[in-house]
């Protein structure tokens, strides 16, 4: 077992937890299995996290921060608010190579909503993602590039609902989802409905 600085070890444990929870589920995965996967002893896990639940909550929190950081990076250099929104519509973290595992873990929280800590982490995650999308839609509305017939708030909720549904279908490996027989993708329809054509 190699000795890592505390911050690196914590991140390594979160990485292994994302893999393990994604594969086995939160309820079935054990800290013993996590220790083995991380190449550490169980007491090392408890130096960084009070419990398996605290580790799970930290993973949800990290996933939210990583999503927002990735979106900021991906939107950097966009030509205008409409271009930023177009990029955002094509940047669903639930189906990205990096986000697929952590978001599969996030989806498992549906069976843990009675746990106050987990519910609070999930609610905070969704609130921060929603706020980010609202900001982008408002900017596009202010630039008259997106319809203002509906509030940015409700459009952001609609995009979240569609994005999460798309992510669930992807996680379930539903063949052909998201496209019609002519090749039109859900994202194309959203862009045509929301973003004013130049």
Task: Say which residues have a Cβ less than 8 Å from residue 184's Cβ, sequence separation at least 6.
Answer: none
What pLDDT is recorded for position 98? 85
**Residue 144 lies in domain:** 54-194
Dump pLDDT digits (tens) for 74-94.
999 999 999 999 999 988 999
Within 13 Å of residue 190, how many CA atoms lie on the same side as its CB?
A: 22
SS3 114: coil
Report the alpha-carbon distance of residue 173 to residue 87 in Å, rounded. Answer: 24
Q: Which two tokens stand for residue 146?
A: 């997106």
> Given this model, what pLDDT does residue 33 score?
94
What pLDDT is attached to residue 182? 94
CATH number of the domain at 37, please: 1.10.10.60
CA-based nearest residue to 117, from 49, 164, 68, 165: 49
CATH assignment at residue 118 = 1.10.357.10
What are φ and ψ of residue 90, in 5° steps?
A: -95, 10
CA distance 37 to 30: 11
Residue 100 pLDDT: 86
As for how many domains the chain has, the answer is 2
The pTM for the full model equals 0.88
> Each residue of 10-52: pLDDT tens digit?
999 999 999 999 888 888 999 999 999 989 999 999 999 999 9
Same-domain pairing of 41 and 58 = no
Same domain, 110 and 145: yes
Nearest to 132 by CA among 107, 151, 157, 109: 157
> Across all residues in the chain, what is the average pLDDT?
91
The percent of residues in the chain predicted with pLDDT above 90, rounded, is: 67
Asked if 68 and 115 sit in the same domain, the reply is yes
**92 in the same domain as 148:** yes
Domain co-membership, 105 together with 180 = yes
Residue 185 main-chain phi, psi, to 5 deg = -100, 150
More confident residue, 126 or 191: 126
Same-domain status, 104 and 35: no
Distant-in-sequence, close-in-space partners of 99: CB < 8 Å, separation ≥ 6:
63, 66, 67, 70, 93
Residue that the structure tokens 């993973």 belong to: 59
């Amino acid at each position: 077992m190699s000795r890592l600085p505390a911050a690196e070890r914590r991140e390594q444990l979160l990485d292994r937890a994302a893999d393990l929870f994604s594969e086995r589920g939160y309820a079935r995965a054990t800290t013993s299995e996590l220790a083995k996967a991380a190449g550490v002893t169980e007491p090392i896990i408890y130096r960084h996290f009070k419990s398996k639940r605290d580790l799970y909550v930290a993973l949800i929190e990290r996933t939210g921060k990583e999503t927002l950081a990735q979106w900021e990076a991906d939107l950097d250099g966009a030509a205008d608010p409409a271009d930023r929104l177009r990029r955002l519509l094509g940047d669903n973290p639930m189906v990205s190579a990096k986000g697929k595992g952590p978001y599969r873990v996030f989806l498992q929280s549906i069976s843990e909503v009675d746990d106050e800590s987990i519910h609070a982490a999930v609610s905070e995650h969704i609130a921060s993602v929603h706020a980010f999308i609202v900001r982008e839609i408002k900017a596009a509305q202010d630039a008259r590039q997106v319809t203002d017939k509906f509030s940015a708030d409700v459009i952001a909720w609609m995009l979240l609902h569609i994005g999460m549904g798309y992510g669930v279908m992807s996680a379930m490996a539903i063949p052909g989802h998201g496209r019609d027989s002519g090749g039109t993708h859900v994202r194309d329809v959203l862009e045509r409905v929301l973003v004013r054509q130049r």
